């Protein structure tokens, strides 16, 4: 792997972690529940992208499988939270 690619991936990791920190601040101080759900969605998206960048950086397939699991659980969690905020119940 070239030095330029390692530098770019390290910079991408820094930006993703910075985005995750911004989402965490919105999650903690968000005035409404909708803001908190959107911040949580952004955090799992940044976490998934972080795992993908680490998979490229370390050339390991395990990171890609972890990213797939994060995206699956994030989608299910977002759907459940949206349904709860709209109707007040998750399971009918």
Q: What local confidence, expressed as pLDDT, does residue 55 receive?
A: 95
Which pTM value belongs to this model?
A: 0.85
- 3-state secondary structure at position 90: coil
Q: What local confidence, expressed as pLDDT, does residue 79 receive?
A: 85
- The percentage of residues in the chain with a pLDDT greater than 70, rounded to a whole number, is 97
> How far is it, in rounded angstroms, from Cα 56 to Cα 67?
12
3-87: CATH number: 1.10.287.3510
Alpha-carbon distances of 51 from 24, 36, 80, 84, rounded to whole Å = 18, 23, 24, 29
- Residue spans of the domains in the chain: they are 3-87
* Structure-token match 């965490």, residue found: 24
pLDDT digits (tens, 9 = 90+) for 50-61: 999 999 999 999
Long-range contacts of residues 69-75, Cβ cutoff 8 Å, at least 24 apart:
70/44, 71/44, 73/44, 74/41, 74/44, 74/45, 74/48
């Amino acid at each position: 792997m070239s030095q330029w690619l390692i530098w770019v991936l390290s910079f991408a990791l820094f930006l993703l972690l910075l985005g995750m920190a911004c989402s965490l601040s919105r999650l903690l101080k968000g005035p409404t529940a909708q803001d908190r759900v959107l911040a949580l969605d952004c955090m799992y998206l940044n976490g998934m992208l972080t795992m993908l960048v680490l998979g490229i950086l370390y050339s390991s397939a395990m990171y890609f499988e972890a990213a797939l699991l994060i995206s699956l659980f994030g989608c299910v969690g977002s759907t459940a939270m949206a349904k709860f905020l709209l109707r007040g119940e998750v399971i009918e």
